[in-house]
Chain A
Amino acid sequence: KAGVTQTPRYLIKTRGQQVTLSCSPISGHRSVSWYQQTPGQGLQFLFEYFSETQRNKGNFPGRFSGRQFSNSRSEMNVSTLELGDSALYLCASSFRASGGAINEQFFGPGTRLTVL
């Protein structure tokens, strides 16, 4: 079974630009979560998508957004990039039980974003 894939793997952008990252979950997984990893803040939850709907969002400004498609693939977008947005962005997929709780999360290789 193929794992979680993320594209692109590396990105360099300048301040003020916007960026879109893509994540394809493991086949059969319909929950996709996004995380940001920085040296100062560690790994922080961004948001979770399930059935094309954002189910939860972490403490990030509105510049961070996302969406999910009917095939469970997800994209996240960051607008008006700031230097502090430089980070490793990781997405994770999991199975979501009928009661709503997700099971074990599996991570993709990440997208390393550098903002100059």
Chain B
Amino acid sequence: GIQVEQSPPDLILQEGANSTLRCNFSDSVNNLQWFHQNPWGQLINLFYIPSGTKQNGRLSATTVATERYSLLYISSSQTTDSGVYFCAGLTFSGGYNKLIFGAGTRLAVHP
């Protein structure tokens, strides 16, 4: 079946540290999104990245579609980066779309 796996499940950082979150996905995934879920439950779009590398401020993401993985880099972490990070694979098969979410990485950044 369609699988999206994230690691690590939990991550604790000191403010200013860098981190890398990983997402492995099965070959039926056509596209990939990264989200940050804030404490109120809102999913914030970070990247829509089927392949290649994108950067947005202190965050960047790389997807290597041929090897079925994506990485999210957070540099110089801040306490406001705390929360849960999800990657989600978009599948389109037989005319049907859906996002398959990974279990998430829970990040805590301490001052």
Contacts and interface: CB of A to CB of B under 8 A. Distances in A.
Interface of B is mostly: strand
B33 A56 contact: no
A96 B110 CA distance: 41
A58 B91 CA distance: 13
Contact of A100 (B92, B100, B104): B92
Contact of B99 (A35, A96, A110, A112): A35
A105 B43 CA distance: 10
Interface of A is mostly: strand
Nearest to A108: B42
Given A31-B97, A55-B95, A101-B30, A42 B48 contact: no
B58 interface: no
Interface string B13-50: 00000000000000000100101000011110100100
A88 interface: yes
A100 B99 contact: no
Interface string A85-101: 00010101000100011
Interface in A67-116: 88, 90, 92, 96, 100-110, 112
B86 interface: yes
B109 interface: no
Q: How large is the interface on B (under 10, 10 to 19, 20 to 34, 35 or more residues)?
A: 20 to 34
Contacts of B42: 107-110
A7 interface: no
A31 B48 CA distance: 17
B65 to A, nearest CB: 15
Given A37-B41, A56-B97, A101-B97, 19 more contacts: A33-B97, A35-B101, A42-B101, A42-B104, A45-B98, A48-B98, A55-B95, A55-B97, A56-B96, A56-B98, A90-B43, A92-B99, A100-B95, A101-B92, A104-B48, A105-B33, A105-B88, A105-B90, A110-B41
